């Protein structure tokens, strides 16, 4: 009996000092492996600055269009292109794309679809106007010119 | 005796580890900015119906504030050449609040304005009749840079937001950030806009020189 008692006394508590390390390792593992943006942007994106920015309330209504010079000029040329989802579109495809995006929304929100245009600074108005003409054609008329805040120095 | 003591306290005190983790967590919480969807909202005109052409609008020239931007990003504002867009917002504000020939409703709007905005009314017969009639027209070229276009559009919006905000006694940024979630906020937004529609017309870019 005496023998047993002595043995149980020696190793009663589990060492917990390694627990934070394990948690940290998990944290780092997920930090490293998480991918926030599943779509790769194929065009250059230097977003212009503006002051009168507005925030949209419902993020689900927003679909993104990226316009800019392709990063891979050897493959796609150096003229500005339009990217939606993860592929480059020609202006003629935009109506179809908008309709697909709209169908993905709940029925009550379909009229409120907003296209966020992320346009590179160096793009000229020509391609943008072409895209807008297509958006009018698709009746997706709410457009958000994505821009970042400008620091005003007085 | 001394040896056995040092063996007893071999375990590192891990109690403060959690604090360190929390500190890190809070630091990153504060410093991270999630890419938000901010931008300038624009509503495009409906598509053209070939069977039903848009009605011919006979607006007086004085009621239209024309801004032309050419392929070299030069501006022509109301027939005058400008190199930069600076100060355009003030000019648009003065144009909208000109009250050159207000009708009865417009006079009522004028009377409802705060003193600071009333002071803007120059009563110039060459400028807009009243805010309900005033239109800001922006016309670009296909070769105009998007950056310049956005700058001009931004300033036109700023002029209107400045007016709206001043009417409801808020800072422009505060007025713009009103989410309109409840009735009080909606009423505030409406009060700012009432009688002064944000009439910014964006003409189809022309193709010359692109």
A80 in Cβ contact with A67 (< 8 Å)? yes
| pLDDT on residue B116 | 82
If you count them, how many residues does chain B have? 210
Order of strands across the sheet that contains B200-206: B80-82, B75-77, B64-69, B135-141, B200-206
| pLDDT on residue A97 | 92
Q: Element (H or E) spanning B31, and its range?
A: helix B17-31
CA nearest B69 in A: which residue? A125
List of chain A residues with pLDDT < 50: none
Contacts of A126 in chain B (CB under 8 A): 142-143, 205, 210
Task: Say if residue B15's pLDDT is above 70.
Answer: yes
Query: What is the DSSP secondary structure assignment for residue B63, as one 8-state letter?
Result: G
Task: Say if residue B148's pLDDT is above 50.
Answer: yes
Structurally, chain A folds into a number of domains equal to 1
Query: What is the DSSP secondary structure assignment for residue A134, as one 8-state letter?
Result: H
pLDDT band at B3 (very low <50, low <70, confident <90, very high): very low
- Distance between CA B146 and CA A48 in Å, rounded? 8
| pLDDT on residue B35 | 63
A147 in Cβ contact with B38 (< 8 Å)? yes
| pLDDT on residue A5 | 55
Contacts of A41 in chain B (CB under 8 A): none
In a domain, A12, yes or no: no
Q: Output the domain CATH number for residue A73.
A: 3.30.420.270
Q: What percent of chain B stands above pLDDT 70?
A: 90
Task: Say if residue B54's pLDDT is above 80.
Answer: no
Q: In Å, how far is B167's CA from the nearest CA of chain A?
A: 17
Task: Say if residue B97's pLDDT is above 70.
Answer: yes
| pLDDT on residue A119 | 92
Q: What is the mean pLDDT of chain B?
A: 81
Contacts of A60 in chain B (CB under 8 A): none
Cβ of residue A91 closer than 8 Å to a chain B Cβ? no
Q: Is 0.80 topped by the overall pTM?
A: no
Considering only the beta carbons, identify the residue of B45, B140, B157 that sits closest to A125: B140
B53-62, B114-123, B140-149: range with highest mean pLDDT: B140-149
Choice between B4 and A41, residue whose per-residue pLDDT is larger: A41
What are the residues whose beta carbons fall under 8 Å from the beta carbon of A67, sequence distance 6 or more?
A43, A80, A81, A82, A83, A117, A118, A119, A120, A123, A127, A128, A131
Query: What is the DSSP secondary structure assignment for residue A107, as one 8-state letter?
Result: G
A48/B176 touch (CB, cutoff 8 Å), yes or no: no
Q: Which of A23-27, B2-6, B22-26, B43-47 has the weakest average pLDDT?
A: B2-6
Range of the domain at A110: 49-148
pLDDT band at B4 (very low <50, low <70, confident <90, very high): very low
């Amino acid at each position: 009996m005496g023998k047993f008692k002595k043995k149980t006394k020696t190793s009663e508590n589990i060492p917990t000092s390694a627990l934070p390390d394990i948690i940290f390792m998990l944290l780092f593992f997920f930090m490293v492996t998480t991918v926030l943006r599943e779509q790769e942007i194929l065009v250059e994106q230097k977003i212009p600055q503006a002051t009168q920015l507005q925030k949209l309330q419902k993020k689900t209504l927003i679909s993104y269009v990226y316009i800019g010079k392709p990063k891979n000029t050897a493959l796609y040329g150096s003229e500005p292109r339009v990217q939606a989802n993860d592929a480059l579109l020609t202006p003629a495809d935009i109506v179809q794309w908008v309709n697909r995006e709209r169908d993905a929304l709940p029925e009550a929100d379909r009229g409120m679809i907003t296209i966020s245009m992320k346009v590179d600074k160096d793009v000229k108005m020509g391609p943008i106007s072409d895209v807008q003409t297509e958006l009018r054609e698709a009746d997706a008329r709410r457009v958000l010119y994505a821009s970042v805040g400008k620091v005003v120095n007085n | 005796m001394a040896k056995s003591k040092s063996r007893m306290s071999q375990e590192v005190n891990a109690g403060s580890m959690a604090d360190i983790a929390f500190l890190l967590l809070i630091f990153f919480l504060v410093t991270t900015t999630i890419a938000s969807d901010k931008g300038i909202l624009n509503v495009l005109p409906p598509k053209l119906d070939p069977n039903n052409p848009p009605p011919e609008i006979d607006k007086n020239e004085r009621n239209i504030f024309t801004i032309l931007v050419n392929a070299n990003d030069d501006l022509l504002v109301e027939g005058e050449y400008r190199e930069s867009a600076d100060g355009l917002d003030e000019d648009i504000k003065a144009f909208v609040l000109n009250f050159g020939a207000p009708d009865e409703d417009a006079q009522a709007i004028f009377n409802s304005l705060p003193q600071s905005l009333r002071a803007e009314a120059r009563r110039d017969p060459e400028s807009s009749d009243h805010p309900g009639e005033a239109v800001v027209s922006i016309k670009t070229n296909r070769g105009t840079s998007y950056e310049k276009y956005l700058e001009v559009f931004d300033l036109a919006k700023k002029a209107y937001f400045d007016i709206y905000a001043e009417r409801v006694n808020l800072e422009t940024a505060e007025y713009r950030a009103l989410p309109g979630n409840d009735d009080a906020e909606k009423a505030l937004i409406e009060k700012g806009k009432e009688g002064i529609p944000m009439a910014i017309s964006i003409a189809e870019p022309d193709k010359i020189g692109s």
